[in-house]
Amino acid sequence: MNFLSLTFLLALSSAANAHFQLLYPGPRGAFVANDEPNFCGGHTQVTTNRTTFPVSGGFFTIKTGHPGWTAGVIISTVDNPRSFDNFTANGNQQFVRNFAKEADAGTFCVPLNISEAGIEGVRDGSNVTIQIVFDGGDGNLYQCADLTLSSNITSPPSDVTCSNSTSDSSHGSDGDNHDHDNDNAGSGSLSVRQGLSVTLALALGAAGLMASAL
């Protein structure tokens, strides 16, 4: 009886804690897990200490303890973006990194070549903000980084490394610029949301067995 209760609680806890942290470039504001479902992780004011970031050949690093996640990057060229609307142009989100799927938990260094996206206003010296959109199975989570772009930077700061914590990771692209909430299993694996549904179904089934046993 106690084992079934523990299994159910662990399943719900796993689904409710699919958080991530942006490690590089430095995020806007302090990390607050409960604020991640909000715009820029709950921080609406631009930082006064922007990260100088390469226009081409950059990367970002994130850490998550949740396997089976999807992430993408949108950009704003507004000096002080304070809403999701500031990350759109003509009604469309401005992507600089299409959504990618990762099966493992850990720390990941992901290429980010901002110039390749062809976004108007992206050039040497531009002040921009990137927003990481992360889905670990329980809805989108967000963190932002305020940047000043530079064409003179060819390597990251000496205290920043680009390495992955797992040996079998891959960062494939979905190949589109659309919301990933409706990804399906056409690639031969369960989508993040489908995987979550299965987990909850099993947990609820266990809860039903526990209730009937009572």
212 within some domain = no
pLDDT at 58 (0 to 100): 93
Over the chain, what is the mean pLDDT?
Answer: 76
Look-up of token digits 């990367």: 59
Confirm whether 193 is domain-assigned. no
pLDDT band at 166; cut points 50, 70, 90:
low
Tell me, yes or no, whether 131 lies in a domain. yes
φ/ψ bin of 71: left (φ > 0), alpha (ψ from -120 to 50), beta (otherwise): beta
- 195 in a structural domain: no
Q: Does 27 have pLDDT greater than 90?
A: yes
Each residue's pLDDT tens digit, 93-118:
999 999 999 999 999 999 999 999 99
Which residue segment(s) compose the domain that 121 sits in? 19-184
Tell which wins on pLDDT, 80 or 165: 80
Q: Provide the domain count of the chain.
A: 1
- In the predicted model, is pLDDT for residue 15 greater than 60? no
Asked if 166 contacts 104 with a C-beta cutoff of 8 angstroms, the reply is: yes
- d(CA 70, CA 35) in angstroms, rounded, equals 19
Instruction: Look at residue 156 and tell me whether its pLDDT is greater than 80.
Output: no
pLDDT at 188 over 70: no
Taking the CA atoms of 162, 163, 168 and 169 in sequence, report the sign of the dihedral they define: negative
> Contact at 8 Å (CB) between 52 and 153?
yes
Question: Which residues, 6 or more positions from 89, have their beta carbon under 8 angstroms from its beta carbon?
Answer: 119, 120
CATH number for 162? 2.70.50
Answer with the residue of higher pLDDT: 15 or 95. 95
Per mean pLDDT, which range of 34-48, 124-138, 144-158 is the poorest? Answer: 144-158
191 pLDDT above the threshold of 70: no
78 domain residue, yes or no: yes
pLDDT band at 203 (very low <50, low <70, confident <90, very high): very low
